[in-house]
Amino acid sequence: MGNIYQLKITLKDVKPSIWRRIQVKDNLNFLELSTIVQIAMGWEGIHKHMFVIGDEEIGYTDDDKCDSKDHKIKKYLHKENTKFIYEYNFGDGWEHDVEVEAILPIEETKQYPFCIEGKRHCPPENCGGPWAYEDLIGMIKDKKHPDHQKMIEKFGKNFKPEKFDITEINSKLLNYKNFIKLLS
């Protein structure tokens, strides 16, 4: 029947913290987990990824091949408090600390994957990484900044760094789950 992994995903080098707490089934491969993390965090999924667990790297290699589909997460994440790194978008260098907070039994009445809670909106794609994101927030907040209007136009006037919409995230996760069912 399997178990559920409760994972806490925290975007590194960003203050105040941007994080999500999700629950996923233990039968996933790392490509599926990557997609779920991207949805939960708010990424668009248009860049390469890599998981670093101990000395092992799973994801895109130097020769541009992705092996995430070839590895099941339960082989690596079978203990609580296991910690690893998830990197998304090598150019911008978005690294996430991920921790297995709990291993739980599956609840038949629940839908998985599922986001339990989180804080703050994910940075916009291609904004330049953690340090550039900090500058972007400053430009958006400071209406007198010379690049304020340009950043609003580029990243959208509706971008709200403090906004966290768990309903939207879980709706996207449910759509992903239904899409995967269709492929099976």
Model pTM?
Answer: 0.90
Residue 114: which pLDDT band, with cuts at 50, 70 and 90?
Answer: very high
Other CB atoms closer than 10 Å to residue 157's CB: what's the count? 9
For residue 131, tell me if it sits in a domain: no
Residue 178: per-residue pLDDT: 62
For residue 142, tell me if it sits in a domain: no
For residue 113, tell me if it sits in a domain: yes
Query: 31: domain range?
Result: 3-121+163-183
DSSP state of 14: -
pLDDT digits (tens, 9 = 90+) for 132-175: 888 888 888 888 888 888 888 877 677 788 899 999 999 999 88
Residue 183: which pLDDT band, with cuts at 50, 70 and 90?
Answer: very low
Q: How distant, in Å, are the alpha carbons of 50, 65, 78, 142 from that of 99?
A: 15, 26, 12, 35
pLDDT digits (tens, 9 = 90+) for 7-56: 999 999 999 999 999 999 999 999 999 999 999 999 888 888 999 999 99
pLDDT digits (tens, 9 = 90+) for 117-132: 999 999 988 888 888 8
CATH classification of the domain holding 70: 3.10.290.30
What is the rounded (10 degree) CA torsion for 2, 83, 97, 104?
A: 30
Letter for the amino acid at 87?
E
Which residue from 108, 112, 116 is spatially nearest to 181, judged by alpha carbons?
A: 112
Residue 179: per-residue pLDDT: 58
Residues forming beta bridges with residue 72, ordered by sequence position:
29
Contact 59, 49 (CB under 8 A): yes
For residue 88, tell me if it sits in a domain: yes
Residue 91: per-residue pLDDT: 83
For residue 100, tell me if it sits in a domain: yes
Q: How many domains does the chain have?
A: 1
Residue 54: per-residue pLDDT: 93
